Structure 1
Amino acid sequence: MTGDYTSVPLRPGARWTGARMQQGRVLLDGDYNLTVDAASREAQRLTAAAVGPAGVADGSSAFRIGFATDGTLQIGAGEMWIGGLRAVNSTLIAYTIQESVPPLPTSGKALLYLDAFVEEIQAAENPPDLLDPALDGIDTMTRTRVGWRVRAKPVNATSCAGAAQALPPLELSTGLLDIVRTSPPVPMDPCAPPDDPRGKLPDGLLRVEVLDSGTESTARFAWSYENAAAAVSASVVGAAATLKPSPEVTFVSDDLVEVSTLVRRADRVNHGPLFVVDHVQPGAGGSLVTLKTPAAVTGSPSGLCLRRWDGQSIGAAAQTKALLNGVDVGVAFRARPGSYLAGDWWAVRVRGSSADAVEELSAAPADGTRHFVQSLAVVDLDARQVLTDCRPTFPALTALKDTTCTVTAFPGDDLQVAADKLPDSGGELCLAAGLYPLNNPVIIKGKRRIVVAGIGPATVLACTGHESVVQFHGCSDITVRDLRAESGLASTPERPAGDEHLLGTLSFIDSSDVTVRDCELACPDSAGRTQSTVFAGSFERGRSTGQVRVLNNRLEVGNQQTGVLVVSPDEVTVTGNEIRLGPATDDRVGFHPRLVNELSRFVGSHVVANDSESGHTISLPGGATMRVAGATVVQRLAGQFARTVTEKALSRGTPRQQLQQFTRRALLAPDSLDLSREANRFLTGAVRSRSMSQGIVVAGLRANHVRIEGNQVSGVLQGIHVGLAGSGDATADAGQVVINGNHVACAVPFFWTRSRHAYYVGSVQSLTLTQNSASLTRIGAALSLLGSIAGSPVEAVRIHGRLGYLIRVQGLDLTGPFAAGVAITDLSAWGKTPRLFHVSDVINMSGTGPALVPLSIPHDRCVP
C-alpha cells in the first residue's frame, strides 16, 4: 500500500464493513478505500471458509505440476483458491519463466508449492496499464491483484504430508512498533514564504517500512511522510537512472531514494542502504538522475522505479526521530523486541494543517502483506516424474448433494475430533470415501442413537497398532454400517499376550442395542492374544448388552481369531454374514503358542503305557525305555528325541513330558537340534496350519433369544458356538435358540487334541437347528500322511448340557470325516411334560461315525 493516501482505511483488527456517503459531504480517499477493502476482506474470508485453506475445482489443471517431453517442469493453467484469494495462471508456463524465482534444485526430490499474496501496483510500477496518455503522465488510482510464485524446496519425502514440513513459515513480523508525538514542531523560518511545507508537518500519511530484515536492533527502517508514494518509473544502469516524464514527482540532490521493484516487497528481499541523489539533469524525455553509489539491479525487472524516502535507520530499539528534510518535527518511532521482515510497514495519519495532529500507535502489529502457501506436488527431478499431486480439490456447487449427516469427515480429518462433535442425544457421523489411517482407536463414550456410516468398502478405517478401530463405551442404540475397518495386532509391550479384555475391530463395551450391517471387517493373524472382528459385551460380569444385530457383513478373520463375539445379550441376531479366514498377515503365525502346545501334546500322546499296545520300543539313557505308537514319522521323531535326551532330563519328568518338551524345542529353536529333513518338514508343516478359532460365539450369563441364520463360515476350528457360563460350577441356560440355513467349513489340524464342532449348543431351553450344512478338512500334513495319523475327533453338531422342552434338529448335510453327525448329552433332570426331542434328515456319508449319538433320541431318516 504505497499510494498517495491520507489514512490507512482498514487495519487487520478493525471491524468496519463499509462506509456510507452522506449528501453534501466531502468524499475522502479513506472512506472510499474502506468500502473497497472491507468488501474484499469479507469475500476472502467467505471463500476461505467455503473452500478451505486452498483448493482447485475437481478435474482442473490449475497449477498442476508436470514435465514436458523435453523434461521442462511446467505449471498448469487455471485458477486456484488459496487463503481465500483467487490466483490465476492464464496459460501453461515453464517454471523458469517466472521472474526472480530461484532455480530448481539440481537433483533429487523437491516440493513445488504456491506462494500467493495481495499485490498493490502504482502507476510508476506499471505505466502502460495505469497511465492514460490523455492525462499527460498524471496518475489516477493504484490497483491491486493477486500475485503468486511457484517455488521449489528440496525434500526427502515422497508424500505430500511428509514434504509439507518443508513449507516456509511465511508470516508477518512479530515485532511491534510505537509511533508517538514527542514535541511541537520547530517554529517556521520567518524568511520562508507562506505555507512553506518544509517548516511544518504535511497533510498525509507517515509510513515506516522495514527495508532489511532483522531484529529491533539490526533491521533497517525507512520512513516517508508521503507514504513512499513519490515514485517515478525508471531504467537503471549502475549509478545512472533515466526517469520517465513525471509532472508530479521530481528529485533533487541529496534526496534518499530506493531503487524499487515489485519483487523486493513480494519476496521480502533486503534492499540495503538507500541511495543518495548526486545530481539531476532535466530532460524533455525524462530527467537523468545520478546516484552517488551504483545500484546492483540489472535488466528491466517488473515495477522498476525510483522511490523517495525521508530517512533511514539501522535498528530502532531506542526512540528514533522521524526527521523531515533533516528537521525534527516532533515525531518518533520505536521498535519493540521481535523479528522484523523486509516489506512489512506501519502507517499513521499526520495533519499539519490542524493543530499538528498525529495519529499515534502503541505496540502495533505490522500492516504488512500476508503470504499464503500450499503444496502443489512432490517431484523426482532425476526421473523427471511427478510423485504426488498435492493440490486439494473441491466439487463444483452443482455436484454437491444434500446430506442428512450431523458430522461429515473426509480423509485427512481427525476422526476422534469428528466423533466428539456428535451430540450426546444422537446423530450421524458420515465418512467419505478414502483411507483413514489411525494410530489409536476412535472412542465414542456415553452417547445414544448414534450412526457411523461410510459409503461401502471405499471407506477404509485402518488402525495398525491396536486391536480396535472404533470403540463404543456406555452407548445405546448404535448402528455402524457401510464401511471397511482393519485392525492391528493386540499384543504390545503395554498389553502383552494373555491380557484380559480382548476386543474386536468394532468393540461395543458396556453398550446396548447394537447393529453392525453391510460392513467389511478384518483382524490380523493372532500373535498370542485372541481378537475378534465384532465384540459386544461388558467387562462387568453379567451386564446385559440388550439387542445385538450383526447383519450382512463380510468378515476377514485372522489365524486363531474369532469372528463375532457377543456376551450376555437379551436378544442376538446374526444373519447373512460371510465369515472367512483372512489372508496371512504375519510370519509369527507359524509359532502361535496354541498350535505349538497342541502339536507337542499330540506327539507326546503317542507314548503308550505298555508292551501290549502296538508300536516300537525305544531305548533311553540310563537303561530306560518307552514305547511309541502311531505313524512312522512320529516314531522317527521319538527316536531322534531318544538320541538327544539326557538321563538328567529324564529324571525331571516322564518320557512323555520330555518328548513334549523336545517337540516344543524343535519348533521354537530348531537350530539347536539336528533334526532330520523329514521330521523338520513334518513339524513346520503342521504348526503353520491356519484356521480361525471360532466363527460366531454367543456367551456370557444370558441369551434369551438367539437367531443365527444364513451365515457362511469357512476355515474355522469351531463354527457356531452358543454356550453360557454361570456362577460357580453351574452354567446358565440359553432361552430360545434358532440356528438355520448356515454353512460351516471346518479346517482342523490333524494334531488337534481338544474336541471341536461345527455347531455347539450348551444348556438351552429351546433349540431349533434346521437346514444347515457342514464340511470338515483335516489340515497340517500331506494327504498321504493324514491317512496314517489318527486325528482328534470332530463332531458336526454337539448339544451338551441341561436341555429344555424342545430339541429339534432337521436337515443336516455333512461332508468330510466327522466322527458323528449329531451328538446329544442331556444333563437335565426334566420332570415336566410335554417335552419334544427329534432328529431327522441327517446325512453323514463320508463320516467315520454314526449320524446320531445316542440312537435312543427319537429320530428318522438319519444316514448312516
Structure 2
Amino acid sequence: MKGDFTRRTFRSGNHYRGVLMQQGRVQLDADWNEQLDIQLHHDETTARDAIGVHGGPQDAAGFAITDPKGGEPHACLPTDLLLTKGRYYVDGILCENEELVGLAHQPDPPELELPGADGRYVAYLDVWREHLTALERPELREVALGGPDTGTRNRTVWQVRLERLANPEATPDQVAPPWKPRDGGPRGQLRARAQPPEADPTPSVVPPHAGYRRVENQLYRVEIHESSDGSPSFVWSRDNGTVAARLVRVSDSSIIVHSPGRDEALGFSEGQWVEVNDQARARRGLHGVLARLGEVSGTKLTVAQWEGFPPGLLGSDAVVRRWDSPGAVPITGDWIELEDGVQVQFKPDAFHRTGDYWLIPARTAALSLTDLDSDLPGNVEWPREEGGAPIFQLPDGIEHHTAAIALLDRVDGLWTRVYDCRALFAPLAEARPDPTSMRAPGLHVKYVRLTTLDGELGNDTSVSFAAFLKGGIVMGFDGVPAPLHPTGQSVLTVTLDLPYPLSPAERNAWQLGPGQVLGTQPLDLAGFLKMGAGEMRWQPDGVLESLPMMVRVGKELPTRLRCRLTLNGRALTAQGHPDRLLNGLALTRPRADGTIEVLLPTVDDVRGADFTFWFWIELPRLDGAFDSSTFDKSVFS
C-alpha cells in the first residue's frame, strides 16, 4: 500500500472492535484506516467461519470452467475454456465475475498464457488486494476542486491460474484445503530497530549516534525487488514509496513523466534511483526496471544507468517511482543500515517474493512510560520481546489467497475438465437440516471386482458361486479411505436376497404351489473386511460353502440369488480429511438386455450418499434340477 500514510496501527491480537472519535482531538489517517481494517478483519473472519476456506452460493456461484455451450469441457480448444459469471468466496474475500469470460482473457491484465505441456492441471483462484491511488486511477481526483489527490482505494483482484500436478490421476482430495500452489519455501520475515547504543555508554548520557537521527517522522517501506528465485534483493523508501509520477514515455537515455513532483524533497533529482513498472507486470509478480538518474530538468529525467535493460512496452498505467536506496540492496542475514540509525535484518533460510513489503514507522521522539520524552532518542515502532529485542515479522503484504476450482487434463493440446472442485452452499434461510443434502467433493467408488475374475464386475451381471466364494469382493476408490474404527457403524453390508419361505412347513402353511414364493428375506453375510491403499476387500466366511444345500429344497427354488453391496456413505471418509465423506451416489442406465448398468466413478451430487450395487450368484446344479419355466422371477426385479 504505497499511500501517504503516517503509519498502520491495526493488530488483530489487540481485539479492538472499533475506533471512537473524541471531541477537539487531532484527526489522523491511522485512526480512520484502523477502523477500516478492524471492520474488514471482522467481516472476512465471519464469512470464512460461515462458508469455510472457499465456497460459492448454490444459485449464483461463478468461476465454473465450461465450454461455449455451458457444459463440461471435453477435448476443447484452449479458446473454448470459459469462466462463468457469479460470486465466490476465498478466505472470506468476495470475488465477483460480472460476465462470461475466456480463461485466457480474464478482466485484469495480464492475460493467462495456457501451458503447452500435456498433463493434469489444477485451476485455482488467486485473490489479493491491490492498492490504487490517483496515479493508477486518475478518476479518483475531484475535478470540481481542481483535481486534488485525496483518498486511495483498496481493490480485490482475482486471477484464475493453472499449475501442473505431478500426479496425472490427481483427485479433488489432493487439492483440497490446505493445498497451496508451489512456492519456494517458508515466507521471508524481517525485523527492524533503531541503531542501539554502543556497549557500556556513560550512565545517564544518551550517545548522539544512538536511535533514529532524522529530524522528520517517516514511514519507511522495505520491499522485495528480486525474489529468491534469483539473487534476492530489496529497495527501500522513507516515504512509503509515494514519490512517484505517471510515465509519459521512456527511451534508452531518458524518462518523461507527467509531473516533476511537489517540491525538491518529494520530487526527482540527480543521483536518485527510480523504478519503472506497470500493473500487468506487477500482477505477474515481476519487479520493474531500476534506473539511476542523471540530470533532471522539469519532467525530463535523464538516465545515467539502467540496472538491466530498459523496459519494453508498458501499459497506460505505468508509473515511475522513486526509491531512496542505492538501487537494489542484496539481502543478507546481517543487520543492514538503511539510513540515520534505521536498521533491518532478514530471517535466514526463507523465500522472498517480489512485491512483499514491510512498513516501519520512524519517530523523532520516544515514549517514557506513557509520556512523550523529547530527550530520549528517536526510535522505530516495531513489535518487541519482553527484553526489548525486535521480533521477526511476516510481510505486511501482498497477501495471496488461493482456492482450487477445477482439475483439467491437457491431451494433445485439447482440454477436458475432469473435476469441478468448487464448494457450493445454500443460503442459510434455505439450508436443509440434513448436511448430506449439500453437494461437496468427497471419496468416490471407482470400480468393483472379484479377485477370481479378469476385469471389473458389472452391476446386474452373474457370477458363479465358486468364483464368489473363493475370490472375494474388491472395491476401489479415488483416494485412500481412513482406517476403520470400532464405532459401531457398519461400513459395508453384503446381503443375499433369499426366497421366502424356504422350509416345507412354512410353504405348506402358506399353501404355496410349485414355483410360488411370497417374496424375499435379506440375509447379511458374515465375512472379513480389509483396507488397503485405495481399496477395500471383503472375503466371505468359509461356512457359506453349504449355502446351495441350505437354499435348495425340492424343485421350488431358483438357481441364482441376488447379492447386494451397500457402503455406508457416512461411515467411510478419506484418510486425513474426516470432512470428506464417501459420495456413493452412482448414475445408472439400462442395457440392451434389460439389465441395469451402474456408471462409475460415483458423483458428488449428494454428500455422504450410500453406495449400492448388486449382482447375481449362480448356484451349482444339484439333484432335482429346477424348472425355471414355473418360477415367478418378478419378486427379484
* TM more than 0.5: yes
Deviation sequence 1:504-523 (CA, Å, 0-9, x none): xxxxxxxxxxxxxxxxxxxx
How far apart are 1:200 and its partner, in Å? Answer: 2.4
Report the equivalent of 1:233.
246
* DSSP 3-state at the match of 1:340: coil
Q: Distance in 1 between matches of 2:144 and 2:260?
A: 14
Note if 1:557 corresponds to 2:495. Answer: yes
Q: Which residue of 2 aligns with 1:397?
A: 428
The aligned residue for residue 368 of structure 1 is 397
Partner of 1:219: 232
- Map of 1:410-809 to 2, 5 A cutoff? 410=436, 437=443, 525-527=468-470, 557=495, 579=522, 691=561, 749-751=620-622, 778=625
> Does 1:255 find its partner at 2:272?
yes
Report the equivalent of 1:316.
332
Supply the distance in 2 between the matched residues of 1:434 and 1:175 (Cα, whole angstroms). 35
Q: Offset of 1:82 from its aligned partner?
A: 1.0
Looking at structure 2, the residues matched to 236 and 259 of structure 1 have their Cα atoms a distance apart, in angstroms, of: 11
Q: Cα deviation per residue 1:680-717 (whole Å; 9 max; x = unaligned)?
A: xxxxxxxxx754799xxxxxxxxxxxxxxxxxxxxxxx
Shift of 1:5: 0.9
In angstroms, what is the RMSD of aligned CA positions? 4.8
Q: Is 2:33 the partner of 1:2?
A: no
AA in 1 matched with 2:24: G
1:24/1:184 CA distance change after superposition, 3 Å: farther
Tell me the percent identity: 24
Q: Give distance in 2, aligned partners of 1:376 and 1:433.
A: 14
User: What is the alpha-carbon distance in structure 2 between the residues aligned to residue 281 and residue 557 of structure 1?
Assistant: 90
3-state SS of paired residue (2:49): helix
Closer, same or farther in 2 for the Cα pair 1:139/1:133, shift >3 Å? same
Verify the 8 A CA contact 2:260 2:268 in the aligned structure 1: no
Comparing 27-36 and 136-145, the one that deviates more: 136-145
Larger fraction in strand: 1
- Give 1:278's match in structure 2, choosing from 266, 269, 294: 294
Name the counterpart of 1:132: 142
For the residue of structure 1 that corresponds to 2:162, the secondary structure is: strand
User: Which amino acid is 1:387 matched to?
Assistant: V
Q: 1:107 to 1:363 in 2, by over 3 A?
A: closer
CA distance in 2, matches of 1:33, 1:51: 27
Q: For the residues of structure 1 that align with 2:286 and 2:124, how far apart are their CA atoms?
A: 19
Q: Does 1:332 align with 2:343?
A: yes
Q: Does 1:72 pair with 2:80?
A: yes
Return the alpha-carbon distance in structure 2 between the equivalents of residues 264 and 47 of structure 1.
31
559 and 218 in structure 1: CA distance in 2 versus 1, 3 angstrom threshold: farther
Q: Distance in 1 between matches of 2:418 and 2:443?
A: 20
Show CA shifts across 1:88-113 (max 9, x none): 22222223334224410235343322
Structure 1 residue 30: deviation in Å? 0.7
CA drift of 1:43 comes to: 0.5
Alpha carbons of 1:67 and 1:238: their partners in 2 closer, same or farther (altered >3 Å)? farther
Letter of the 1:301 counterpart:
G
What letter corresponds to residue 277 of structure 2 in structure 1?
S
Gap change, CA 1:591 and 1:336, over 3 Å in 2: closer
Amino acid corresponding to residue 152 of structure 1 in structure 2 = L
| Aligned counterpart for 1:123 among listed residues 113, 124, 134 | 134
Give yes or no for contact 1:172–1:369 (8 Å, CA) kept in 2.
no
Match of 2:124 among 105, 113, 135: 113
The answer on whether the counterparts of 2:497 and 2:520 sit within 8 Å (CA) in structure 1 is: no
Kindly indicate whether the alpha-carbon contact (under 8 Å) linking 2:3 and 2:240 is maintained by their aligned counterparts in 1: yes
Contact 1:266 1:343 in 2 (8 A): no
1:204 aligned to 2:218? Answer: yes
CA distance in 1 between counterparts of 2:151 and 2:622 reads 92
8 Å Cα contact 1:527-1:589 kept in structure 2: no
Cα distance in 1, alignment partners of residues 441 and 122 from structure 2: 23
Q: d(CA) in 2 for partners of 1:359 and 1:143? A: 25
Q: Per the alignment, in what secondary structure is the counterpart of residue 34 of structure 1?
A: helix
Q: 1:299 to 1:95 in 2, by over 3 A?
A: farther
**2:590 — aligned with what?**
none
- CA spacing shift, 1:229–1:16, aligned 2, 3 Å: farther
Q: Check conservation: 2:67, 2:82, Cα contact below 8 A.
A: yes
Task: Say if 1:555 and 1:75 are closer, same or farther in 2 by CA, change over 3 A.
Answer: closer
The offset of 1:436, in angstroms, is 5.8
Q: 2:321 aligns with which of 307, 315, 323?
A: 307
User: After superposition, what is the alpha-carbon deviation per residue over 1:116-168, rounded to whole angstroms, capped at 9, x for unaligned?
Assistant: 012211222222x2223345453111110111111122343374335669851
Q: 2:110 touches 2:283 (CA, 8 Å); kept in 1?
A: no
- Cα distance between partner residues in 1 of 2:135 and 2:419: 42
Identify the residue that residue 179 of structure 1 maps to in structure 2: 192
Pairing partner for 2:359 from 325, 347, 355: 347
1:814-849: CA deviations, max 9, x gaps?
Answer: x98xxxxxxxxxxxxxxxxxxxxxxxxxxxxxxxxx
CA contact (8 A) 1:171 1:371 kept: no
Letter in 1 for 2:134: A
The aligned residue for residue 531 of structure 2 is: none
Q: CA deviation at 1:527?
A: 4.0
Give the Cα–Cα distance (whole angstroms) in 1 for the partners of residues 284 and 223 of structure 2.
15
Separation (CA, whole Å) in 2 of partners of 1:590 and 1:209: 63
The answer on whether the counterparts of 2:129 and 2:398 sit within 8 Å (CA) in structure 1 is: yes
Answer yes or no: is 1:388 the counterpart of 2:410: no
1:316-367 CA distance string (max 9 Å, x none)? 31111102xxxxx112111121222222122221123655232244222221
Asked whether the equivalents of residues 172 and 370 of structure 1 are also in contact (C-alpha less than 8 Å), the reply is no
Equivalent residues in 2 for 1:2-81, closer than 5 Å: 2-11=2-11, 13-60=13-60, 62-68=62-68, 71-81=79-89
Question: Residue type matched to 1:10 in 2?
Answer: F
> Per the alignment, in what secondary structure is the counterpart of residue 222 of structure 2?
strand
Aligned-partner Cα distance in 1 for 2:197–2:359: 20
What secondary structure, in the 3-state scheme, does the structure 2 residue paired with 1:161 have? Answer: helix
**2:396 is aligned with what amino acid?**
D
The letter of the residue matching 1:557 is: T
Contact 1:559 1:691 in 2 (8 A): yes
Distance 1:331 1:693, change over 3 A: closer
Secondary structure, aligned partner of 1:45? helix
1:827 is matched with which residue? none
Q: Larger Rg: 1 or 2?
A: 1
Looking at structure 1, the residues matched to 190 and 281 of structure 2 have their Cα atoms a distance apart, in angstroms, of 22
The alpha-carbon deviation at position 184 of structure 1 amounts to 8.1
Contact 2:471–2:539 (8 Å) recurs in 1:
no
Q: What 5-or-longer segments of structure 1 have no aligned partner? A: 186-197, 324-328, 411-430, 439-461, 466-487, 492-523, 532-544, 561-574, 601-688, 695-745, 753-776, 785-814, 817-864
TM-score by length of 2: 0.61
1:151 equivalent in alignment to 2:161:
yes
CA change 1:530–1:331 in 2 (3 A) is closer
- When residues 202 and 530 of structure 1 are mapped into structure 2, their CA distance, relative to the original with a 3 A threshold, is closer
Find the aligned partners of 1:47 and 1:396 in 2 and give their Cα distance: 13
| 2: CA distance, partners of 1:292 / 1:281 | 17
Q: Answer yes or no: is the 8 Å Cα contact 2:473–2:539 preserved in 1.
A: no
TM-score by length of 1: 0.46
| Separation in 1, partners of 2:185, 2:28 | 29
Q: Distance in 2 between matches of 1:589 and 1:43?
A: 49
- For residue 320 of structure 2, give the secondary structure of its aligned residue in structure 1: strand
Describe the shift of the 1:267–1:691 C-alpha distance in structure 2 as closer, same or farther (beyond 3 A): same
What CA distance in whole angstroms lies between the structure 1 residues aligned with 2:175 and 2:295? 52
Query: Against the structure 1 CA distance between its residues 184 and 143, is the aligned structure 2 distance closer, same or farther, given a 3 Å change threshold?
Result: farther
Shift of 1:219: 1.9
Please give the alpha-carbon distance, in whole angstroms, between the structure 1 residues aligned to 2:539 and 2:190: 70
Separation in structure 1 between the aligned mates of residue 187 and residue 3 of structure 2, nearest angstrom: 25
Distance 1:82 1:778, change over 3 A: farther
CA pair 308-92 structure 1, distance change in 2 beyond 3 A: same
